[in-house]
Structure 1
Amino acid sequence: MSVFTFCHIYALLVVLVVLRGTTSLDDLKICSTPDCPNEHIEVADEIAGTIHRYSQNAANFQEAKASRSPAKDVEPRGHVNGQSPEAIVTAQRQHPVNAVEENIFWSATVEGAIPPGLSYSVTEGWKKRIRQLRVVKVENASIDKCGSNMNRHVVFDDGTTACARYRHPMVQFVLGDLYCYYLGRMIGLQNVPTVVLSHVSNDSSSQWSSVTADIRNAGWKNDTVASFSLWIDNIGKSHLPEIMFNNQRGTIYPSTPGFADLNITTLVELAQFSDLVIFDYITAHLDRMTIRKNAVEYYQQDWLYKGEVHNLAQHKSNGGLWFIDNENGLFNSYPVAYSKANKEQMQGYHEELLRSFCIFRRSTFKNVHGLARMEDPFNALDMAVHHNEPVTKMMEEVKKSFMVGLKERFKQRLLNVVHWMDECQSRSSG
């Protein structure tokens, strides 16, 4: 990717990328020889404004590159269904489980081991409660806690916590997070954090009335809209499974070398990743898997595809993956992905990610097909949002500016997913 294309994307996103001691991408060098200086190496591998840092000395840098494994100080991985580390080791030594059914669907064994996420009743209860609570504490955000510096981590009067996302006047980010959540529910995903909109007001009846000074100091304007997203406790970084790294330009089939030897822990991870690439393709998400594809191409360093996946968290107890921070989906991502300067390259990234798997969860397969068969699937999504989120009406006028071509592109991307799934099914029965 050229420097021009990077700058164009940044301008479209209205985001400034800040590199410590670096004024442009050309100033950033990646050392790949044994005599690398013993200093921090920063990789500008993200196109939406957040910098992921690889902080290693020369020895660790070379070791990570050679072994294609994360740095030594990466937190321990989660364990499936609360298993102890000893149980995981035992499982890894056992004979591999039956992973796939009908040569295309994850087996009942794998499905049964996937952490369930949030049920409909839990999310509905959370949304109802959040709308009735008052914010009593506002904390600054960070890369690891609620993202952008305009966001805040908030505490409600009953002790509940949430991420409060504020983007005024760039409401496409708030809309993206909201619509991605409801899209996730429509295709059966229970691991997209719940989102609720909030009217930011200094009125005495507002849920912000106790912290008006804090939100004023944060630069938030009165009579605007923010969103609350459910805060998931006990989560850590997630890393790309080895088999995905080894097949980063190909497709994972049941016949892929090494697949038959995978243990249940890895299979459960892969099943969740197979959902992720579909979700990110439909939403044209710019700030998760796509940024790794971008980094590999820009620096011509395949090892950059390995390691921490941005905006993807893993529960430390049960190994469940959480598709967090979906601001860069739909309303912001579509204009970027379909812009004249980026269309060919971004479409290529998303297509390659979609084709990462020829194995799917039965529920995802069925639900995506059902949504794609609708005459106007985006309208169904829009109606679901409006039915569940009354504050959305405050954003209708500004939303119109992002609707050009969105409905048609949304359906086309759904049809592209269906075409790929059907192609995989045809191959599996051939």
Structure 2
Amino acid sequence: MDNTKEKNPPPLSFTDRIPTVKDINLKEKNIDKMNMTIDFRHRPYVIYNDFSSNKMRTRREGVTYCFISVIISFIFGLAIGIVLMSGQYEEKVVVKERHTTPRNMNTVKPETKEESNKFAAVSFTGKENKYNKDIYPKGLTEVMKDILKDKKNDKHPFVFNKTFVPDTSTVLYDNIYWGPQIEDAMPQGYGESSAQIWEEYIDETEIVKMEAGCGRMQNRLVTFKDGLQACVRYRQNTDQIQGEIFSFYVGRLLNLTNLAPSVVRIVDLKDRLWKNVANDIVTAQWSSNRAVVLTQYIPSLESASIPDVFRPTNRHLNKMDIMKMSLKENDTEINKQILIDKLRVKDLKLKQELQNFTHIDLKLNKKTIDRFLELAQWSDLIIFDYLTANLDRIVNNLFNYQWNVNIMDGPAHNLAKKMDSGLLIFLDNESGLLHGYRLLKKYNVYHSLMLDNLCVFRKRTIDSLKRLYNTKSVGSLLGDMFHKKNSIVIRDILPSLPEKNAKILIERIGKVLNQVEKCEQNFR
């Protein structure tokens, strides 16, 4: 008999495929095995497939229940969030209405809960920074940190644009304007009423005497029948007569009282004004039908020098200069100590704080007041000469300074001072507006030299300039004034101010106002 085992077992019969009790017990022990798993360790091979349908059904039901629970949780959580958030927004609205709604004394105050909202936004500035963590950018100053702190109910310690009302003791205010203590002491000068009276006087009077004087060769000093006198300006060149009278008109538009009253008249031997001096007119070699300017003669004048602050070694006037002069001239122990504190401080930060003033309130002595009265008039003079491009006053000194350094120590050209009141008189303005404008390319640097270093002004002068510049009406106003004050005979001989010159005047007004704005920025 062949004992060799068969390599391939015979196929199972149908009866062999029926599970036995042993097989069933074995499957219960291996209940965790996956469906359709074949056990190769036992013959016959057993396929565990009895509970596959029940297990798959259980898995599908578990997935369904899990998905439903997730959906329910999401909806429930969303509902809770909406309720909480709506409560937070309602609280903010109540706070806003409480601040904006006017409170009536008869209105019952609603009850408010003191409990803070735990969902309120967290502030990372101020006291709420629990961890003492520096949340500011590096290099930020302590002042800026204080500004950035969330203190909406606190007032900031720095007050910008503080309104100061000047009074009779104010020397300077708003950093750049002369105060009432100076303005109230200004000499009266010659206003609009004086100009009107002079015009009416010339129409009714007669000249009884004419003699040499009043400057240039063909100018004449005339005496009227009642003893009053006038300087008569005669020129062959018409634009110098225009320059003189239109410069006077510009002074009137700016409310300057430093120009003596002036009128234009025609030399006519048949006119009552001239008939008594016909021979003197021939001697003076005047031509008939020539326009001349008659300016009221002002006696008791003395020369005026350029102040130290406007000379080449200094040449500036600002609020710090006014402060120094105010404290220095008022020779008291208190003011001396203030001067030391303000001007000799070594700590740069402290010095800047001491210099951060907008006005000066200090009772001045007469010497200081007189000095400031002159400087206030110089403020107007520098502006007036810049607008008209006058060549015969300060520009004359500045131009000749390159050859004669001592010229600034002498009297200013075409400038005088009244002995009794200290009023500065702006004399001989014939180069303004026409001749001076033609030479701007050469001399404008000298005009700008004085203006660029002036930072203290008279408020009424600047207000007049602003009105003229905003309306762009200076040309029409000068034309109207010229037509109103002069007859058709005069207007036929003497032309009005050309339009191109009026445009240049507007431009120069704008430059003066730019200087004012620059001073406001630099000394605020």
Aligned counterpart, 1:355: 452
Among 388, 394, 408, the residue aligned to 2:503: 408
Counterparts of residues 251-266 of structure 1 (less than 5 Å): 251-256=316-321, 258-260=324-326, 261-262=328-329, 263-266=368-371
Q: TM-score with structure 1 length normalisation? A: 0.70
Q: How far apart are the structure 2 equivalents of 1:147 and 1:194?
A: 17
Give the letter aligned to residue 450 of structure 2: L
CA contact (8 A) 2:266 2:490 kept: no
Cα pair distance change 1:392/1:259, threshold 3 Å: farther
Tell me which of the two structures has the higher relative contact order, counting C-alpha pairs closer than 8 angstroms and 6 or more residues apart: 1
Among 219, 225, 229, the residue aligned to 1:157: 225
Q: How far apart are the structure 1 equivalents of 2:279 and 2:435?
A: 30
Q: How far apart are the structure 2 equivalents of 1:246 and 1:110?
A: 26
Q: How far apart are the structure 2 equivalents of 1:330 and 1:395?
A: 19
Larger-gyration structure (1/2)? 2
Deviation at residue 98 of structure 1 after TM alignment: 4.7
SS of the residue 2:406 aligns to: helix
SS of the residue 1:276 aligns to: helix
Are residue 113 (structure 1) and residue 171 (structure 2) matched? no
Deviation at residue 128 of structure 1 after TM alignment: 0.4
Deviation at residue 202 of structure 1 after TM alignment: 1.6
Q: How far apart are the structure 2 equivalents of 1:347 and 1:245?
A: 18
Report Cα offsets for 1:161-200 as digits up to 9, x if no partner: 00011113x0111111111111101001011111111110
CA contact (8 A) 2:309 2:316 kept: no
Deviation at residue 376 of structure 1 after TM alignment: 4.0
Among 256, 271, 274, the residue aligned to 2:376: 271
Report Cα offsets for 1:98-156 as digits up to 9, x if no partner: 53111110010011111010232222112101122111100102xxxx11111100011
Percent of residue pairs identical: 28
Give the letter aligned to residue 318 of structure 2: Y
SS of the residue 1:188 aligns to: coil
Deviation at residue 245 of structure 1 after TM alignment: 2.2
Are residue 285 (structure 1) and residue 390 (structure 2) matched? yes
**How many residues in Structure 1 have an aligned counterpart in Structure 2?**
315
Deviation at residue 243 of structure 1 after TM alignment: 2.5
Aligned counterpart, 1:191: 258
Aligned counterpart, 1:45: none
Deviation at residue 356 of structure 1 after TM alignment: 3.4
Gaps of 5+ in 2: 1-168, 330-367
Q: TM-score with structure 2 length normalisation? A: 0.58
Are residue 238 (structure 1) and residue 278 (structure 2) matched? no
Counterparts of residues 1-400 of structure 1 (less than 5 Å): 98-141=170-213, 146-168=214-236, 170-203=237-270, 205-245=271-311, 247-248=313-314, 250-256=315-321, 258-260=324-326, 261-262=328-329, 263-297=368-402, 299=403, 301-337=404-440, 343=441, 345-390=442-487, 392-396=490-494, 399=495
Give the letter aligned to residue 419 of structure 1: N
Deviation at residue 265 of structure 1 after TM alignment: 1.3
Root-mean-square deviation (CA, aligned residues, Å) is: 1.9
Q: How far apart are the structure 1 equivalents of 2:301 and 2:513?
A: 32
Aligned counterpart, 2:56: none
Cα pair distance change 1:417/1:152, threshold 3 Å: same
Cα pair distance change 1:369/1:244, threshold 3 Å: same
Q: How far apart are the structure 2 equivalents of 1:240 and 1:308?
A: 7
Give the letter aligned to residue 196 of structure 1: V
CA contact (8 A) 1:386 1:392 kept: no
Cα pair distance change 1:356/1:395, threshold 3 Å: farther
Q: How far apart are the structure 2 equivalents of 1:221 and 1:230?
A: 22
CA contact (8 A) 1:313 1:323 kept: yes
CA contact (8 A) 1:243 1:258 kept: no
Deviation at residue 349 of structure 1 after TM alignment: 0.4
SS of the residue 2:311 aligns to: helix
Report Cα offsets for 1:330-372 as digits up to 9, x if no partner: 12211122xxxxx1x4111011121231000010010011111
CA contact (8 A) 1:376 1:407 kept: no
